[in-house]
Amino acid sequence: MGTKETTVRTPRRRQPSLLLGTLAALAVSAAPPAKGQDAPVPFGFADSDLPMTLPSGNEIQREIVLRTGPTTTVTGFRVEPSDAPIELWDPKQANQPLRKVLPYKLSANSLWRLRLKLDTSPLALGETVVRVFPLAGDQIGSPLQLRVLVTPATDLGAIEAEDRAEGLPEQLPVEGPPPKIVFDRYVHAFGTRLSGERLSTTFEFENEGEGEMIIQRVSRQCHCSVGKLVLPSGEVRWEKQERGKPLGVLAPGEAATLEVVVDTSDIGTGAIAKEFGVFTNDPVNHPATVTVKVQVTNPFQVVPPVALLGAAARSEFQEKVLHVSSSVLGDFNIVGHEMPTPAVLDFTHERDPKGGHWIRLNLRDDAVFGIHKGYVIVHVDHERVQRFRIEYSLELLPDILFMAQGTGSNNPHQLQFGVARKLGELGRFAIDNHNPAVPYVPSAVRVEAKTGAELYEAEIIPVEEGSKYEVVLKLKEKPRLRFLKGQLVVISDHPMLPEQVLDFSGLYQGPR
């Protein structure tokens, strides 16, 4: 492929560095001691143990409380293991991790609300224990222990996909007396429950046949439900189970249990029924199925119900404000949230004095261009409901827009100039930077074409320094072939767009 590069002879302008990583802090500054608290509180975290279950590849943020005791200066935090993927955030400086502003001075005998962020991506499946120790000089405060159970990132959705790809387990031949699977019941009704509650029940089944019963698989109807199988030999760990291998064997007269957990925050509202199937070598019941039923109602009123942020360039995105309340639960506290990774939105909240909470969603500085859809999982501190979700969608357009001028193509990055009957200009692209805080200055344009880059000439014309330019494509030599096709590669020092590829095509019907 031929290549030719043209450098624009225009004054260069130094660009200010792009502001990176603005994370909104939801923490508040240190509060005075609680009313009636006369004795000094010990130095350390208020919660000594914080269990959580998270899928791999997710990010969660939780509010935690540090008791300062007689200490007035926190000098640091020690994390064990040291490479644990957690971060603490400064309650006053939203853009700064706490480690960058230490040492930090506080009032003695006060409560300091911090925000902890945990990314499960680097953690192995299974349980990981992380301890965070607050430090004040040589003094070590009581630690916070995080017990994180990391589940597979694809969760049951991928398991279901693999199950469908493999098909149903083949019926195993029975040699000798057959087994017989019998459940203690086949339907369990939870009644009317609130969306966000985690429901569980346990089914027991027994081998009432005369032969050994081989348990091949337990199927789950959707990713919202989890089944725990306990055999006489112990619990079956799904993540360690080799696919295609039997889960276990029940001798005649032996029993096992299947614990079913349903997360109602992910299944919508109304009448819901979910099935679980146990595949065995029982020649009659293959599979034997049990069903859980529940009527789900939503205890939260979110206005608007969906966060539609629309389509805009980074500099034009506006904050999305939602209000959440609950006439059923009454008062509740928001204690954290989860975002799909990589996260594209910052989440902040504040209590509404009239009731409920205001939730604010803002675009992150490191969000990538494209369409983003997903759910924010909001964690609440309530005895009945632990979380709810907010659906969001947005399209982040590039700050720098390229538009082919006078073209018949619907693609703004494709210049179709039709028929050229003479040498000279074939067409041009307009460049428009919508973010004046980060100037866009193209430094060169390179022509790439299989028919020979030497046939073409590209020129950058400044219209408005740092924001508006035009790229002009010219044909300077008669081509051997009639069909013209290639690419323009616009080069700049912009941190988010160092190169932009633009296509061109057309016909030449001029003198040969």
> For residue range 95-146, what is the model confidence (pLDDT) as tens digits?
566 766 677 777 777 777 777 888 777 777 667 888 888 888 888 888 888 8
In this predicted structure, which of 10-19, 67-76, 203-212, 324-333 has the lowest mean pLDDT? 10-19
- Asked whether residue 334 falls in the same domain as residue 421, the answer is no
Q: Say if 24 falls within a structural domain.
A: no
What is the rounded CA–CA span in Å between residue 274 and residue 226?
Answer: 11
pLDDT band at 450 (very low <50, low <70, confident <90, very high): confident
Q: Number of structural domains, the chain? A: 4
What is the rounded CA–CA span in Å between residue 382 and residue 251?
Answer: 44
- Asked whether residue 283 falls in the same domain as residue 171, the answer is yes
Q: Where is the domain boundary, 377, 397, 417?
A: 397
Q: Say if 262 falls within a structural domain.
A: yes
- CB-based contact 490:430 (threshold 8 Å): no
Count of C-beta atoms within a 10 Å radius of residue 508: 22
Q: In terms of residue numbers, what domain contains 358? A: 301-397
Q: Where is the domain boundary, 104, 121, 151?
A: 151
- Asked whether residue 366 falls in the same domain as residue 434, the answer is no
- Asked whether residue 210 falls in the same domain as residue 257, the answer is yes
- Asked whether residue 274 falls in the same domain as residue 164, the answer is yes
- Asked whether residue 265 falls in the same domain as residue 160, the answer is yes
Q: Say if 35 falls within a structural domain.
A: no
Q: Domain of 313: which CATH number?
A: 2.60.40.10
Beta strands 104-105 and 76-80 are unpaired
What is the rounded CA–CA span in Å between residue 95 and residue 103?
Answer: 17
Per-residue pLDDT at 283 exceeds 50: yes
- Asked whether residue 59 falls in the same domain as residue 89, the answer is yes
What is the rounded CA–CA span in Å between residue 279 and residue 171?
Answer: 9
How much is the pLDDT for 396?
A: 86
Model's pTM, two decimal places? 0.52
Q: Say if 39 falls within a structural domain.
A: no
In this predicted structure, which of 341-355, 408-422, 474-488 has the lowest mean pLDDT? 408-422
What is the rounded CA–CA span in Å between residue 104 and residue 27?
Answer: 15
Per-residue pLDDT at 298 exceeds 80: yes
- CB-based contact 290:411 (threshold 8 Å): no
How much is the pLDDT for 41?
A: 59
What is the rounded CA–CA span in Å between residue 400 and residue 411?
Answer: 15
Coil, strand or helix: which one is 445? strand
- Asked whether residue 113 falls in the same domain as residue 199, the answer is no
Q: Is the pLDDT higher at 217 or at 162? A: 217
Q: Say if 346 falls within a structural domain.
A: yes
Beta strands 387-397 and 370-381 are antiparallel
Per-residue pLDDT at 39 exceeds 50: no
Per-residue pLDDT at 232 exceeds 70: yes
Nearest to 387 by CA among 449, 330, 335: 335
- Asked whether residue 160 falls in the same domain as residue 271, the answer is yes
pLDDT band at 90 (very low <50, low <70, confident <90, very high): low
- Asked whether residue 312 falls in the same domain as residue 346, the answer is yes
- Asked whether residue 350 falls in the same domain as residue 306, the answer is yes
Coil, strand or helix: which one is 297? strand
- Asked whether residue 288 falls in the same domain as residue 221, the answer is yes
- CB-based contact 59:90 (threshold 8 Å): no
pLDDT, tens digit (0-9, with 9 covering 90-100), for 312-326: 877 788 899 999 999
Rounded mean pLDDT of 168-181?
80
Q: Where is the domain boundary, 296, 328, 357?
A: 296
